[in-house]
Structure 1
Amino acid sequence: MRIFAATALALMASATPALAQDATFQGPRVEAVAGWDNLKTSGLSGSGFVYGGAAGYDLQRGNLVVGVDGEITGTTTDKTIGTAIIKGGRDFYAGARIGYVVAPATLVYGKVGYDNSRVIGRAGNLRVTDDLDGVRLGAGVERSFGHYYGKVEYRYTNASDDVVRHQVLAGIGYRF
């Protein structure tokens, strides 16, 4: 987490005001994300650290931005009850986002898409892995620094009737 924060600060410090004035939210992008993850299942709840990467493409027309993105993350989230352990596993996401440029270098956006979450349960020698399909909803703010950008995002994922996930992430990225 310290490396992530130091990298984000270095990228922001290296961006000049002139770069921010030429901000565009169009084209292909890649990013690293990290933050807080909370997994709730059948009355149990556990929190941990989520980390991963994403790629996407945005199209900007005036102040309106529409795009697609995909993401792969992992998590340290788990909950132990006696000898049983419930863990969050890898997470795949593919979806779309729509946003509005509210300042020359600031984008506010919402997103929706398909999510496939892995949940792992262990009790003694028994291990059960379940891949759950669901819907992710999210909202965030992205700030451009020329080709670099930083973002903060909240997301809610409903993976089944019994499994929901809340996440708050920060990200740093590069737009080509």
Structure 2
Amino acid sequence: MRKIIITTAGAALALGIAAPAFAQDVPVEQAPFTGARAEAILGYDRVADGKDNSNGKDGLLYGGAIGYDAQVGGVVLGVEGEITGSTIKTRNSNLLTAGDNIRVKAGRDLYAGARLGFVLSPDTLLYAKAGYTNARFNTDYSIGTARIEQGDNLGGFRVGAGIERKLSGNTYVKGEYRYSHYGKLDGYDIDLDRHQVLAGVGVRF
């Protein structure tokens, strides 16, 4: 374990030293990671109780994001906003009483945050991100002819990391992992976590 920690720390230090050196080959006026951007994203989505991840549900994540980045030497600072949807849903019967049905579906997810990147080469960016996320979960409960529909908005934080690769022209692709935590859902003994792995394609203006 100690060897792994030392190796990881050494790699991180080497990355921090090497990134500015790589960027010295790119004139500031030709900084490839500066400007406004828009992208479409698609990936894997999982929502689970942080206390018992085995009870989680999987689905497809889809949506889009906009942002702005400024490259200063080998460092990129940016802000971004995102809206996504998910196919995650679950259905249970006889949960509270015999004959009842409950359906819970993940709704829209809004995110706003910042990112910090290191230029590994003129066309490759490694970055970390953090910000605020607000997710909606829609509940439909019925028993007999009675029916109750409710939507809950949960706020939380998100952290993540990814790699972006510049293609021809102003287009780019990226791969990203992020973790979100929403805390406890009112009325339920669960503590929601979210794990997402995605790919994106975008255009920088």
For the criterion TM > 0.5, the same-fold answer is yes
Q: Which residue of 2 aligns with 1:138?
A: 160
Counterpart amino acid of residue 81 in structure 1: N
Which structure features the higher share of strand residues? 1
Where has structure 1 moved over 4 Å in runs of 4 or more? none
1:175 aligns with 2:204: yes
Counterpart amino acid of residue 159 in structure 1: Y
- Match of 2:90, SS state, is strand
Residues in 2 aligned to 1:144 and 1:85: alpha-carbon distance in whole angstroms: 42
Q: Which residue of 1 aligns with 2:179?
A: 156
Q: Which residue of 1 aligns with 2:132?
A: 114
**Among candidates 21, 30, 35, match of residue 27 of structure 1:** 35
- Match of 2:183, SS state, is coil
Residues in 1 aligned to 2:31 and 2:39: alpha-carbon distance in whole angstroms: 17
User: What is the deviation of 1:104?
Assistant: 2.0
Residues in 2 aligned to 1:106 and 1:170: alpha-carbon distance in whole angstroms: 15
Residues in 2 aligned to 1:164 and 1:89: alpha-carbon distance in whole angstroms: 15
Residues in 1 aligned to 2:31 and 2:102: alpha-carbon distance in whole angstroms: 50
Answer yes or no: is the 8 Å Cα contact 1:23–1:105 preserved in 2.
no
- Match of 1:24, SS state, is coil
User: How many residue pairs align between the two structures?
Assistant: 156
- Match of 2:68, SS state, is strand
CA shift digits 1:50-99 (9 cap, x unpaired): 11110000000111001000001011111222232221110000000001
- Match of 2:32, SS state, is coil
Give the superposed CA RMSD: 1.6
Residues in 2 aligned to 1:68 and 1:111: alpha-carbon distance in whole angstroms: 9
CA shift digits 1:94-145 (9 cap, x unpaired): 0000010112211010000010000122221222210001001110000011
- Choose between structure 1 and 2 for higher RCO, CA contacts under 8 A separated by at least 6 residues: 1
1:65 aligns with 2:76: yes
Q: Percent identity?
A: 47
Give the TM-score normalised by the residue count of structure 2.
Answer: 0.72
Moved more, 81-90 or 54-63: 81-90
Residues in 2 aligned to 1:23 and 1:172: alpha-carbon distance in whole angstroms: 19
Unaligned ranges ≥5, structure 2: 1-25, 94-100, 185-190
User: What is the deviation of 1:23?
Assistant: 6.6
Counterpart amino acid of residue 26 in structure 1: T
**Among candidates 69, 73, 79, match of residue 90 of structure 2:** 79
1:40 aligns with 2:33: no
Residues in 1 aligned to 2:122 and 2:32: alpha-carbon distance in whole angstroms: 8
Residues in 1 aligned to 2:92 and 2:74: alpha-carbon distance in whole angstroms: 50
Q: Which residue of 2 aligns with 1:8?
A: none
